[in-house]
Structure 1
């Protein structure tokens, strides 16, 4: 059996925190002739000025050029450079770029008529002159934030003057909407629905597990599957999480697309081994 070489890229700070999922991925490669090397993002040195590009490491011997890369370092530029070298990247660059920028994700999905809250990309200075135009509470988000970070519920009586250190200059503005402290994450591998979890918080308007929310396995209904399939029909997603708010009438409102999606809530609430499913998908893609 010919060995397939793969690189799994994480930032150093995330390797320890994701050790259980990394182990699951590596275990899934053993029966498929895949050698999966965990590569810290900070140790990569990429030549971007040559046509024959090999990806060396700065502190160890040169590794063989990989047959594929799983990039979970939240750096979509890397997906694009890797694809220019003819190396298969999971996710592909187009999806990684969209999934890591909420502005792009909303614009692309609005273009295919996926329901969502009214969402506006703005600069912080926009609010200096127009804060008084927002009499009700609203949400400001870091468009590049993830895991519930960089999301603030704004009291219009206080304004944004106290947010200088918590949010960037470029922002995403949304009204408060959906059922408070509740959202639905749907896991996609190879454009197929693998499973879904309902995330809830009794103490926060955000339901992310990483900031104290609870989760339970969720059986999708027919209209929810139809919404997801409308998205998968529009783009090829290797491995993503689609997050939806739940409207008062029970319909879904798109909220976020996660590229390096966290899976703990899925394998804690079900018997689904999404790492096994993902590696089998990679194997089939690379072996074609």
Structure 2
């Protein structure tokens, strides 16, 4: 049985206790073991000119792999450099947790998306903005619908940007059908399922913010678009979110690295934890060159 770490922040571990138990149970069925580790208890850097890692002040012996369910890019990179196989990899995490980088990468591939600006508030002047209000301002590193603002005036925009003035943001034109999106769940670079999320009282459709969810069956052209996006990544598990245009066609919105599965579990019998653990077990059996 190959041993792995399941890395969470301590507050997120409390909120996701049932999902953690689910992952551990499915890992055991797949011939894996998972030990819960808290990101806050790691200390890492360089000791005696070599990369080092400590947990609760003890130098650690690495397991075979780690499932990273928190956003700590430097820790992820350290673990990989020390030889640990990560799900998701640090490279996937780095792009998926930066909305600007995700849009920049996928625009090169011709993926449809809303007109978008990448800005740093301290170097941005509203008179240089090439489109009008209303618009959506998003912290590039935000997730779960947090740090996302509908702004209708320059004053509202400045108030939003002032919350994180030294971080990167994206500004986007409003989607045609605000308050509705489709989340596509991907495991092992394959589509596992999709849900339609909607809200009648918020331009954000996130389930965690009170939105409604229902199972969604992808049309052929939608599946093809998702697969074009997947081609650019080696995804362990992630969510890819799409807005809808007037004809119901997909418009790429964002990608979630540490994706929650409550909507899929609530609307289907798809066992995404089992799919994920089976994918990890299969990857660990393959030669590194694969």
Question: Structure 1 length normalisation: TM-score?
Answer: 0.92
Report the count of equivalent residues.
Answer: 285
Distance in 1 separating the partners of 2:243 and 2:79: 34
Distance in 2 separating the partners of 1:246 and 1:49: 51
Equivalent of 2:89, from 92, 104, 108?
92
Distance in 2 separating the partners of 1:164 and 1:111: 27
CA offset digits 1:158-211 (Å, max 9, x no partner): 443433653444321101113120000000011000000000000000000111
Q: Would you say the 8 A contact 1:79–1:91 is kept in 2?
A: no
More strand per residue: 2
CA offset digits 1:49-75 (Å, max 9, x no partner): 56765633116x665411101111111
Residue 140 of structure 2 is aligned to residue 143 of structure 1: yes
Two-structure CA RMSD over aligned residues (Å):
2.0
Per the alignment, in what secondary structure is the counterpart of residue 177 of structure 1?
coil
Change (3 A) 1:134 1:224: closer
Distance in 1 separating the partners of 2:128 and 2:108: 28
Paired position in structure 2 for 1:102: 99
Distance in 1 separating the partners of 2:101 and 2:56: 33
Change (3 A) 1:212 1:35: same
Q: Would you say the 8 A contact 1:187–1:240 is kept in 2?
A: yes
Paired position in structure 2 for 1:74: 71
Per the alignment, in what secondary structure is the counterpart of residue 272 of structure 1?
coil
Change (3 A) 1:226 1:132: closer
Paired position in structure 1 for 2:268: 270
Change (3 A) 1:229 1:171: same
Change (3 A) 1:53 1:162: closer
Paired position in structure 2 for 1:30: 28
Distance in 1 separating the partners of 2:3 and 2:51: 16
Change (3 A) 1:135 1:97: closer
State how 1:66-215 maps to structure 2 within 5 Å.
66-125=63-122, 128-130=125-127, 135-156=132-153, 158-163=155-160, 166-169=163-166, 170-215=168-213
Paired position in structure 1 for 2:230: 232
Structure 1: 5+ residue stretches without partners: none
Paired position in structure 2 for 1:57: 55
